[in-house]
Structure 1
Amino acid sequence: MLYLCATLFICFALSVLFTPFVKKLAFAVGATDKPNQRKVHQKIMPRLGGLAIYASFIIGYLILRPWNEDSLYILLGSAIIVVVGILDDIYELPAKIKFLGQLIAAFIVVVIAGVQVTFINLPFGGQLHFGILSIPISIIWIVGITNAINLIDGLDGLAAGVSAIALITISGMALIMGDWFVSSMGFIILGSTLGFLLYNFHPAKIFMGDTGALFLGYMISVLALLGFKNVTFISFVVPVLILGVPISDTFFAIIRRIVKKQPLSAPDKSHLHHCLLRLGYSHRQTVLIIYGMSALFGLVAIILSQAAVWVSMIILAMVILALELIAEKIGLVDTNYRPILKIVRVIRYANGKQN
């Protein structure tokens, strides 16, 4: 444990040391983010910061040397993701090319290494076997989470902070479960991410870019898959809850684009952080609110993993209802999309007439 903590600190220090050099490199190679109507920042920013996170992670891995049969495949997949991210930060790759790179990285881990969810134990007895569907389900999970982290990377420190909270939860639970590989990998990435966050928190000096967002999303999705596969239904939901903020933001973005009849890949300014900014919260307040939401999701995930089945079901129902109400209240789908709030208003109106 002491060795693990020492490695975490080394990764943190290395990330702090590497980031200024990566910042200079970003300007030198043209990996910069220019302001436009969709961006919050007002000046040209370097966006290759994820390279500092990745370099720190690799050194931390070589120091701690966590190992299982999947290690080489995970490292190979992460390298592909980082290369795609670097190229995108410099040249702005087409979405199809980025998606292809993500599919290849996911394929290596899921199909070649065999990291898959093959079945889950159902809450009230029996098992649900996915069979041949375990491959597409696992690939969709990895690609989906990779893009979810990328989608929330819209404010200074947002993706890095949310990823750090998710990593703390995943690594802590893996440590409790005795999974040394997942916990040590998670803590190595955590140290690297926190070191970068010193430069990325508002006002940011550098962005992580797709290099960082795709790498963090990929690694978090793979570690969650490793740590919670082939378990109970409730444990299967745990990683979904841990990543509740990016997953729910992505889910409502899909609903929003369907409602507005827009392509699913169409960019907009209606993500969770955009809605909070429109409500009058400052840049820093918005980020801290979303940090709080992420921490709350992590806490619920931990409680859920220890609770009885019926208690877990009640908690899940409450979380889903709360998410829907928040989405309707802040206009996450559309300002006119308020089905539950409209029902509540009708009930109140009916009660008022009766009284």
Structure 2
Amino acid sequence: MEDILIYLFCCSIAMSITPFISKLAIKIGAVDKPNKRKVHNRVMPTLGGLSIFIAFLLGHVFFGYPHFQFKAILIGSIIIISSGVIDDKFDLSPKFKVLFQLAAASIVIFYGGIYLKSITLPFFGTIKLTYLGYFLTYLWIIGVTNAINLIDGLDGLASGVATITFMTMYILATLEGDYFVMTYALILAGSSTGFLVYNFHPAKIFMGDTGALFLGYIISVLSLMGFKNATFISFIVPILILGVPVFDTFFAIIRRKLRGQSFAQADKEHLHHLLMTTNRSQTKTVLMIYGISIIFSGVSIIYSVVSTKLGLTILVILFVLIQYYAGKIGLLGKHFLPFSLAVKDHAGAATTVEGDSGKLGPGDKEE
């Protein structure tokens, strides 16, 4: 019963303050103007992430409990929120954003003591990571923070995927008896849902980098809380929970690398952009990605609770389908085939070379 109260309280707070945040954004000029890379066609207020953050803070005040690591998480959150507000108003360069993220991650690691301390590998046993643990933690926090930001391209997409992520964390934390992660995942799920009411298509406000960076940061830190001492195989769980942003970011890195472009260079070939060209509907596209995210979350629960082998089997099938579909719709770029299609294409070409001269015969018809 208390869990429902926490969720509804934070949801109500976010819903109540979002209209005021919208007016504030317009007043100070923190707006998102349409351009050729964006799908909206009118000026939109940003800073919506402040609604989520304020609801999160009030949720902590009324339902949180003292925890020596929360202070570090909160300081890091303020750093991330500050960078988002500045970016929504003045457009920060990617380098400055990363500096803010490094600062927030440093607070979490060295002040909060939240980092990957050891890993258990098959045949090698438990290995203490020390400095490598710091590096991997930096990589995880900054990577997930930016992954959520990258999928924030359609009305309600990032806030909805984040809500699904937090609810999955809540379920897993409840099953494992991790009351800290359980409580704050629920607080954040309610906060994100309340904002989603105004952010779903047609959106009345955008979360901006204020919201996308904060959600990415807090998701990365909460997921670390349960995996500070991890087995190699346990890394699958947070990656599965974040399946959509993780794979979208992975394919974006490969796509830009193949083209010799900087990772920071924006394009219009993310999963949501490409699905939009097929569906011609923001709502259908967003709901489709919600569905994909729920599938990933379901697999993470199966893997953690039901059967590791079953979870891994489903994961392998998902991976094959993902790489096939990614190449099919052009996530790697228009001129790059997925592995399975490339093999098929190569086999077809070999048949032509070895079994056919390529010249027109009596039974051939020239097009």
Look up the match of 2:327.
328
Rounded to whole Å, the distance in 2 between the matches of 1:211 and 1:138 is 22
Rounded to whole Å, the distance in 1 between the matches of 2:309 and 2:124 is 13
CA contact (8 A) 2:31 2:44 kept: yes
Amino acid at match of 1:99: V
Rounded to whole Å, the distance in 2 between the matches of 1:199 and 1:313 is 37
Q: Which runs of 5+ in 2 are unaligned?
A: 356-367
Look up the match of 1:69.
68
Where do residues 172-321 of structure 1 align in structure 2 (5 Å cutoff)?
172-306=171-305, 308-321=307-320
Q: SS of the residue aligned with 2:279?
A: coil
Amino acid at match of 1:273: H
Q: 1:11 to 1:313 in 2, by over 3 A?
A: closer
Q: SS of the residue aligned with 1:121?
A: strand
Q: SS of the residue aligned with 1:231?
A: strand
TM-score w.r.t. structure 2 length? 0.92
CA contact (8 A) 2:64 2:184 kept: no
Deviation at 1:312, TM superposition (A): 4.3
Deviation at 1:59, TM superposition (A): 0.6
Rounded to whole Å, the distance in 2 between the matches of 1:22 and 1:187 is 23
Q: Which runs of 5+ in 1 are unaligned?
A: none
Amino acid at match of 2:131: I
CA contact (8 A) 1:111 1:135 kept: no
Rounded to whole Å, the distance in 1 between the matches of 2:227 and 2:55 is 26
Deviation at 1:350, TM superposition (A): 7.5
Larger deviation, residues 286-295 vs 319-328: 319-328
Deviation at 1:66, TM superposition (A): 2.8
Rounded to whole Å, the distance in 2 between the matches of 1:343 and 1:66 is 55
Look up the match of 2:120.
121
TM-score w.r.t. structure 1 length? 0.95
Amino acid at match of 2:228: K
CA contact (8 A) 1:66 1:185 kept: no
Rounded to whole Å, the distance in 1 between the matches of 2:62 and 2:123 is 44
Q: How many residues align?
A: 353
Look up the match of 1:40.
39
Rounded to whole Å, the distance in 2 between the matches of 1:32 and 1:250 is 25
CA contact (8 A) 1:229 1:236 kept: no
CA contact (8 A) 1:234 1:304 kept: no
CA contact (8 A) 2:141 2:220 kept: yes
Rounded to whole Å, the distance in 2 between the matches of 1:170 and 1:155 is 24
Rounded to whole Å, the distance in 2 between the matches of 1:318 and 1:124 is 26
Larger deviation, residues 282-291 vs 108-117: 108-117
Q: 1:143 to 1:307 in 2, by over 3 A?
A: same
Deviation at 1:348, TM superposition (A): 6.8
Deviation at 1:160, TM superposition (A): 0.2
Rounded to whole Å, the distance in 1 between the matches of 2:2 and 2:285 is 36
Look up the match of 1:6.
5
Amino acid at match of 1:189: L
Amino acid at match of 1:58: L
CA contact (8 A) 2:47 2:85 kept: yes
Render the CA deviation track for 1:169-190: whole Å, top value 9, x for unaligned. Answer: 1111011100111110111111
CA contact (8 A) 2:31 2:88 kept: yes
Deviation at 1:229, TM superposition (A): 2.8
Look up the match of 1:342.
342
Larger deviation, residues 64-73 vs 137-146: 64-73
Look up the match of 1:57.
56
Look up the match of 1:27.
26
CA contact (8 A) 2:116 2:229 kept: yes
Deviation at 1:96, TM superposition (A): 1.5
Q: 1:300 to 1:281 in 2, by over 3 A?
A: farther
Rounded to whole Å, the distance in 1 between the matches of 2:282 and 2:274 is 12
Rounded to whole Å, the distance in 2 between the matches of 1:272 and 1:245 is 9
Q: SS of the residue aligned with 2:34?
A: coil
Q: 1:125 to 1:309 in 2, by over 3 A?
A: farther
Look up the match of 2:142.
143
Amino acid at match of 1:177: E
Rounded to whole Å, the distance in 2 between the matches of 1:282 and 1:203 is 11
CA contact (8 A) 1:16 1:196 kept: yes
CA contact (8 A) 1:119 1:127 kept: yes
CA contact (8 A) 2:121 2:231 kept: yes
CA contact (8 A) 2:299 2:311 kept: no
Amino acid at match of 1:135: Y
Rounded to whole Å, the distance in 1 between the matches of 2:315 and 2:128 is 23
Look up the match of 2:84.
85
Render the CA deviation track for 1:125-144: whole Å, top value 9, x for unaligned. Answer: 72243231000100110111
CA contact (8 A) 1:234 1:309 kept: no
Aligned-residue sequence identity (percent) comes to 47
Rounded to whole Å, the distance in 1 between the matches of 2:348 and 2:295 is 30
Look up the match of 2:169.
170
Q: 1:138 to 1:37 in 2, by over 3 A?
A: same
Larger deviation, residues 90-99 vs 200-209: 90-99
Rounded to whole Å, the distance in 2 between the matches of 1:311 and 1:189 is 30
Pair member with larger Rg: 2
Amino acid at match of 2:41: Q
